[in-house]
């Protein structure tokens, strides 16, 4: 059951933290120029909150609020090392105006601290203070309650596309710390099958369920060959599987990623071609919530009170959708490098197989069987092999941190694999 392993991961963060800290100390020995973030403290005033970020060196920083995707304060600083021993994952709870925060050791020579806010707030002052008793430099940000209109006006505005990129970058760095990875399980779902052939064959090829299965088997073999994944198939032959059963298979497998493979079709006359990656749509969230309650998904079967269930479900769905989007964004980018894509960005949809509340999930439409060139490609084993190798690259990238030789779980898995050979 999914929640069991997720909880185990949580308990394990403490021991994992020790090795992460050791890595940070090792890294610090090499790159002394990077300041270390050594402590985060909060002070509460009547309508204000003081955030103190302690660093080993003096740092220039910027602080600004953002309204989307939720009120937050962002502190941008030079590339820094996280060295708060008691919060090895880089995440912690806030106080006052701050509900929680996380550290992102970002790319491009910048690091970020993101403070999620309890409501509209504005920065009233920022200070750099000389070392105090701790011997560390202190960066101070004071924030105060603000009218919603003032907050909106003073918050940085990003076009929708940028905020998705930013979300992607933040999540990619915040998740999958080496210590949090167990054995990674990928569920591959070949769409349709049996009495449901999917899109009809055209241009002399196979119908959709056959194309999907051939691609799914190719992806399975590529992933297994890496030695990094357990792969679970919703089907590995021409059989019909109910949509709800496909979700169940992913849940029972305690999957880390679910990828459903399909091929598109349009009415004749359209020249549409190219691949599309879908994640669960905003408008489908209620449907997903109802599905989880109807089917007593994992953590909902423990007799929690309704408000607790709602909270757990919201948190789980938010995390699942974030992770799905991170993966989808990377996948469509890579696919676009080797084949036509219909859209450079992930699209949102209300597909049933994406409704599960926990497992990050995407639906990959590999191309249009109604398009002569796409159909030719998808019926070609060598093209499918290249396309699935690209999907595997994206999966590798998504779980990159889990593949670090410093991840004890991964090393143990490798040892087991080599002992078995
Ligand atoms: Zn389909």
3-state secondary structure 265-330: CCCCCCCCCCEEEEEECHHHHHHHHHHHHHCCCHHHHCCCCHHHHHHHHHHHHHHHHHHHHHHHHH
Please check the confidence at residue 350 and state whether its pLDDT lies above 50: yes
pLDDT over threshold 70, residue 356: yes
Q: What are the pLDDT digits (tens) for 28-63?
A: 333 346 889 999 999 999 899 999 999 999 998 888
Give the pLDDT of residue 271.
83
- Output the CA 192–ligand 1 centroid distance in Å: 6
Question: Residue 419 above 60 pLDDT?
Answer: no
Tokens standing for 246? Answer: 């496909």
| 327 Cα: distance to centroid of ligand 1 (angstroms) | 20
CA of 396 to the centre of ligand 1 (A): 25
Q: How far does the centroid of ligand 1 lie from the alpha carbon of residue 120, in Å?
A: 44
CB 353 within 8 A of CB 361: yes
Q: What pLDDT score was predicted for residue 400?
A: 84
CA of 276 to the centre of ligand 1 (A): 12
Phi, psi of 91 (to 5 degrees): -130, 150
CA of 41 to the centre of ligand 1 (A): 51
Q: How far apart, in whole angstroms, are the C-alpha atoms of residue 375 and residue 205?
A: 7
Q: State mean pLDDT over 229-234.
A: 96
Mean pLDDT computed over 279-303: 79
Closest by Cα among 115, 122, 110 to 155: 122
Q: Is the pLDDT of residue 382 over 80?
A: yes
Neighbouring residues of the ion ligand 1, judged by CB less than 5 Å: 191, 198, 262
Highest mean pLDDT among 179-188, 354-363, 384-393: 384-393
Pick the range with the lowest mean pLDDT from 17-31, 259-273, 285-299, 386-400.
Answer: 17-31
Report, in angstroms and rounded to the nearest whole number, the Rg of the chain calculated over CA atoms: 24
Residue 143 has pLDDT above 50, yes or no: yes
Question: Using CA atoms, how far apart are residues 366 and 377, in angstroms rounded to an integer?
Answer: 10
pLDDT in tens, 213-229: 999 999 999 999 999 99
What integer best gives the mean pLDDT of the chain? Answer: 80
Buried b (16+ CB within 10 A) or exposed e, 302-328: eeeeeeebeebbeebbebbbbbbbbbb
- pLDDT confidence tier of residue 158, bands split at 50, 70 and 90: very low
Tell me the sheet residues that pair with 363.
260, 278
pLDDT at res. 309 = 67
Give me ligand 1 centre to Cα 264, in Å. 6
Domains in the chain, CATH or no CATH each: 31-157 (2.60.40.3500), 169-420 (3.40.630.40)
**Residue in the block written with tokens 């599960």:** 356
Q: Which of 14-23, 84-93, 161-170 has the lowest mean pLDDT?
A: 14-23
Q: How far is the CA of 208 from the centre of ligand 1 (A)?
A: 7
């Amino acid at each position: 059951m999914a929640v069991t392993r997720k909880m185990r991961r949580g308990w394990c963060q403490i021991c994992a933290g020790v090795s992460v800290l050791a890595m940070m100390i090792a890294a610090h020995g090499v790159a002394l120029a990077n300041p270390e973030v050594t402590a985060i403290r909060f002070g509460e005033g009547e309508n204000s909150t003081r955030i103190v970020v302690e660093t080993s060196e003096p740092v220039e920083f910027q602080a600004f609020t953002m309204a989307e995707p939720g009120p937050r304060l962002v502190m941008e600083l030079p590339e820094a090392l996280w060295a708060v021993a008691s919060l090895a994952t880089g995440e912690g709870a806030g106080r006052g105006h701050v509900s929680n925060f996380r550290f992102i050791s970002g790319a491009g020579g910048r690091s970020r601290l993101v403070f999620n806010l309890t409501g509209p707030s504005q920065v009233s002052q920022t200070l750099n203070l000389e070392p105090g008793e701790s011997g560390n430099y202190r960066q101070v940000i004071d924030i105060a309650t603000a009218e919603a209109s003032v907050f909106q006006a003073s918050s940085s505005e990003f076009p929708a596309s940028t905020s998705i990129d930013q979300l992607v970058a933040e999540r990619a760095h915040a998740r999958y710390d080496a210590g949090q990875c167990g054995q990674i399980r990928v569920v591959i779902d070949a769409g349709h099958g049996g009495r449901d052939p999917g899109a009809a064959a055209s241009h002399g090829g196979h119908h959709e369920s056959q194309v999907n299965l051939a691609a799914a088997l190719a992806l399975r073999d590529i992933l297994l060959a890496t030695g990094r994944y357990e792969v679970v198939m919703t089907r590995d032959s021409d059989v019909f599987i109910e949509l709800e059963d496909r979700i169940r298979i992913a849940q029972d497998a305690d999957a880390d990623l679910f990828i459903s493979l399909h091929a598109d079709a349009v009415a004749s006359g359209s020249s549409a071609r190219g691949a599309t990656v879908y994640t669960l749509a905003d408008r489908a969230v209620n449907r997903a919530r109802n599905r989880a309650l109807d089917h007593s998904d994992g953590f909902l079967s423990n007799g929690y009170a309704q408000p607790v269930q709602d909270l757990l479900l919201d948190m789980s769905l938010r995390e699942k959708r974030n992770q799905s989007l991170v993966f989808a964004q990377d996948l469509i980018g890579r696919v676009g490098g080797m084949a036509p894509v219909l859209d450079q960005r992930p699209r949102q949809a209300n597909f049933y197989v994406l409704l599960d509340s926990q497992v990050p999930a995407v639906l990959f439409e590999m191309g249009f069987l109604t398009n002569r060139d796409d159909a030719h490609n998808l019926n070609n084993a060598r093209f499918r092999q290249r396309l699935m190798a690209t999907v595997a690259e994206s999966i590798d990238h998504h779980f990159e941190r889990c593949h670090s030789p410093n991840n004890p779980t991964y090393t143990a898995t490798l040892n087991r694999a080599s002992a078995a050979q």
